Amino acid sequence: MSTLSIRLPDDLKAKAILLAKKKNMSLNELVKYWLQTAVVQEETMAWMETRLHGKNPEQLLAAFGQFLENAKPGSEPTLAEIQQAQHE
């Protein structure tokens, strides 16, 4: 694993530390989470752009609308189940 040193304004660092404490994380874990989220988001957008390149947006929306119309409601997880899954 590599080490990264970054410069932050003091007020941003202080706010990030408070947020990390609120989430029961270290500042390092919080920054790593943010970076991972940003990278995954960019990768997902690139994948979607590749998959959707040249497609007709109106046809995509119509197909998605049909999908939603055919979706059947299921049992949604409870808040406790979601929180438990987050800690696993």
In a domain, 5, yes or no: no
- Is residue 56 a contact partner of residue 46, using CB atoms and an 8 Å limit? no
pLDDT of residue 70: 87
Q: pTM of the entire structure?
A: 0.60
CA dihedral 13, 42, 65, 82 (to 10 degrees): -50
* Structural domain count of the chain: 1
Contacts of 16 (CB under 8 A, 6+ apart): 8, 27, 30, 31
pLDDT of residue 66: 92
Taking the C-alpha atoms of residue 5 and residue 31, their distance in angstroms, rounded to an integer, is 12
The domain of 54 spans 29-68
Taking the C-alpha atoms of residue 49 and residue 69, their distance in angstroms, rounded to an integer, is 25
* Average pLDDT value for residue range 71-77: 84
* Residues above pLDDT 70, as percent of the chain: 100
